[in-house]
Structure 1
C-alpha cells in the first residue's frame, strides 16, 4: 500500500468514525523486551512509510493478554487502534474482537536456566519425581501456551512442578539468566537464540512438528515423549469489534505487505518462527480451529 492509497483509506476510515489522534496506536499485550515487543516495533517501522503517519507502540501487559484486549475493546472501531497479541487470551475469556491478520507462529521453547542441573526433559521428570514441587517452571502467565505445556507435561508424567507466571517480555528472560527458577517455557525468538548461542540458557525441547534448523540437536516435545505438549503460539493483530469490514480489509492489506519484507521474514524465520499473513477470514478460522484443540488439565493458579 503506497502513501496515496493509505491517505485515501484514512479518509474513508475517518468518515466512519473520527479518529481520536492521527496515526495508528498498536497495543501490545506483553511487556517490553520480548518477542512480541520486537515484532510489534518491526511492524510499526515497516508500516509508518506506508501509512504516511506515526505508529505508536503501547504496552498493556497483564492477565495473560486480557488487559490489552480489554483496552482494545474500549477503543473506537475506526481502524486507528489495534492490538498485537497471541490468540490464547481469547480461549481464557472470550472477547469480541475483529481479527485483522495472523502474524507469527512461534514454537514453544523449554530452556534450562543456570539453576537447573539437568540436561534433558527426562532429567526434569526424574528430578520432579524425586522432589515434587521443587522445580520451578516459569511462563508468560496463567492460561498461556507455556502454562498449557506445563500442565500437559505434569499430567503425562505424573509429576508436580511449581508454576511461576510472568507477564511475558524481557523480565522473565532476565530472571532466567539470573537463575531465579530452573525452567522457562518461552517462545523461540531472536533474544532466546542469542542466549542459547552463548550457553547461558540450555534448550531442552521445542514445540514444533520437526526440529528447528537453528537447534538441530534439540528434540521436539513429541520426540521427548510428550506429544500432547508439542505446542506453538500464534500471534496476530486485532481491531475492536464493529470495525467496518472495508477498514479491516485495508489494514490487512497494509500489514500483509509489511510481512512480505524479506528482511522481516529473515529476522523471524532464522529464529524458528513462521511468518503467516493471510486474510481476516483465514485468521478467524485459525482461531476457531485452535480453540477446538484447547483441552486437557489446566489449573488456573
Structure 2
C-alpha cells in the first residue's frame, strides 16, 4: 500500500522560496526542461549496507530507469547523518545534487545538537517523502530475555550493566533507545556506531547486548536466526513480522517511526521541484519498487513538497520533548 498526498500546484510553485515559472529566465527554464541531461548525485548520509542505503538504492535504480540518466548514490556518512545533509545544503540548486531527507538529520538533530552546520528548516528544499519504517528491538541470542518484560526486569536488576547500540548519535535508533529507558525506567549504556552495519557486527559478536534499528536490518538477521526480535516500534504489528509484538503492548504510548524522503538545497526552482517530486511518485508506484520495499518491510509514503516539509517540521516538534527529557545532547 502506498500513501499518496496529491500535489497542490500553488504550494509547489511557492515552496522553498523558489520563483514561479513565468519569472524564470529563459536559460533556467531550458535547463529545467532538459533535466536530467547528465547523472544526478543522490547523497545518502549513512554508510553503505544499512537500511537507508538499501532503500535509497532501490529508489535511485527506478529513477534511473524512468529518467534515462543515472541517479548515483554517494555515501557521505558521519555525525548521525549531518555530514551528508551538509553536503546537500551546500550544493548548487540545479537538480543535479539531491539526497536523503531523514528523521535523523532533519527532525532529531535540530534539538539534539548544540551546533549544526545547516538549518534544517531553511537550507533545504523538501521534494517528496519516500518511505516509513518502524524500528525493531533485537537482542543477542544468549541474552536471557525472551520478551520485553524479561528485558526490563533484567535491566532493573542490573542497572547500567547492559548496553544498546545505535547507528549513530542522533539517529532514530538512539532516540528510540532513550525513549525505552524513559518509559521502562531503566538504565542502559548507549554505544553509538558509524552506521548500522558495524553495530550489527558487534551485536552478533556479543560486544553489545541489544539494538533498535530500522526494520529492514533486523528482519534479515532475525530470519537467519542470528538475533532475537522482541518488539517493533510502530503503533500496530508489522505485516513483515506479525508474530513480533509492538513496544506499546508493554509500554503504552511507545511509538517511533523512522522515515526517509528526498530533498535538495534551498533555492531549487519550483518547476524543478515539481518535476523531481512527480518523478519520485512515479518511481514509488512501480511494481519493482513495491516488491522491493515489501521485502524490506518498508511502507511507501509519497508526499508532495509542501506536505513533506510540513511533516518534517511536525516530527521535529513531536520528538523535541523526548530528546530533552532523555538528557541526550551533542556539543
- TM-score with structure 1 length normalisation? 0.89
- Partners of 2:133 and 2:81 in 1: CA distance: 16
Moved more, 291-300 or 279-288: 291-300
Segments of 4+ moved more than 4 angstroms: 11-14
**Do 1:209 and 1:230's aligned partners in 2 also have CA atoms closer than 8 Å?**
yes
- Partners of 1:40 and 1:289 in 2: CA distance: 23
For these two proteins, the number of residue pairs brought into alignment is: 287
**Do 2:164 and 2:177's aligned partners in 1 also have CA atoms closer than 8 Å?**
yes
1:66 aligns with 2:82: yes
1:276 aligned counterpart, secondary structure: strand
Moved more, 95-104 or 172-181: 172-181
Consecutive unaligned residues of structure 1, counting only runs of 5 or more, are 1-10
Post-superposition shift, 1:252?
0.7
**Do 1:98 and 1:240's aligned partners in 2 also have CA atoms closer than 8 Å?**
yes
2:248 aligned counterpart, secondary structure: coil
1:122 aligns with 2:149: yes
Question: What is residue 300 of structure 1 aligned with on the other side?
Answer: 329
- Partners of 2:294 and 2:104 in 1: CA distance: 22
Question: What is residue 250 of structure 2 aligned with on the other side?
Answer: 224
- Partners of 1:157 and 1:192 in 2: CA distance: 22
Q: What value does the CA root-mean-square deviation take over the aligned residues?
A: 2.1
**Do 1:37 and 1:169's aligned partners in 2 also have CA atoms closer than 8 Å?**
no
Moved more, 62-71 or 114-123: 114-123
Q: Relative contact order (C-alpha < 8 Å, sep 6+): which is higher?
A: 2
Write the deviation string for residues 183-208 of structure 1: whole angstroms up to 9, x where unpaired.
0110111x432221122111111011
Post-superposition shift, 1:273?
1.8
Moved more, 128-137 or 148-157: 148-157
Post-superposition shift, 1:178?
2.1
Post-superposition shift, 1:270?
4.0
Question: What is residue 310 of structure 2 aligned with on the other side?
Answer: 285
- Partners of 1:192 and 1:278 in 2: CA distance: 27
- Partners of 1:267 and 1:50 in 2: CA distance: 17
- Partners of 1:172 and 1:62 in 2: CA distance: 14
Consecutive unaligned residues of structure 2, counting only runs of 5 or more, are 1-26, 111-118
Moved more, 69-78 or 218-227: 218-227
**Do 1:177 and 1:201's aligned partners in 2 also have CA atoms closer than 8 Å?**
yes
Question: What is residue 161 of structure 1 aligned with on the other side?
Answer: 188
Post-superposition shift, 1:115?
4.8
Write the deviation string for residues 25-73 of structure 1: whole angstroms up to 9, x where unpaired.
0000110011111112112211112222222110011111111111111
